[in-house]
Amino acid sequence: MSKVLIVDDEEDIQKILKKNFEGEGIEVVSALSGEEGVTKYKELFEREEEPSLVVMDLNLAKGDMEDIEPHMNGWDEKMDGVRTTREILKINPNAIIWGYTAWSGTRWAEKLKETGAQKVIDRMVPFKKFVIMVAKFLRK
């Protein structure tokens, strides 16, 4: 069974993705912050159970849009998707990371790709369609 780590601070997004991934026979590990995502990835990697794919959001500031600029630029204490991706790739340079975010098409999303994410997919792509894309990728 393939395993996916979802790093997203929105619990509702986590629940929807988890339900859809499990419907495709994909095991899900959830992280509600960048810090938690790095910790969980490291634990899985050390047990040789690392996920086949990490699904990464960019904004991991728990919905605090007031302070989005410092978060976006890496100036606050919370890890955004770019910093989280960087840390996961330090653990495993071969980790496969896809951004799934409302911030696609922005400089922030470009930074995510420059850091090592293979794809950045717009959150406007419906959940079900995104899950089918992931399932198809994992079957290869």
pLDDT-based confidence at residue 67 (cuts at 50, 70, 90) = low
Within 8 A by CB and 6+ apart from 115, the residues are 82, 85, 86, 89
Tell the residue number behind the tokens 């899950």, with chain if given.
131
Q: Where are the domains of the chain?
A: 3-61+71-125
CB atoms within 10 A of CB 108: 21
**pLDDT per residue as tens digits for the range 75-103:** 667 899 999 999 999 999 999 999 999 98
**pLDDT per residue as tens digits for the range 112-135:** 999 999 999 999 999 999 999 999
Q: How far apart are CA 86 and CA 90, in angstroms?
A: 6
* Fold observed for domain 3-61+71-125: Rossmann fold (3.40.50)
CB 61 within 8 A of CB 77: no
**pLDDT per residue as tens digits for the range 42-59:** 999 999 999 999 999 999
pLDDT (0 to 100) of residue 62: 74
Tell the residue number behind the tokens 């050390």, with chain if given.
46
pLDDT (0 to 100) of residue 140: 85
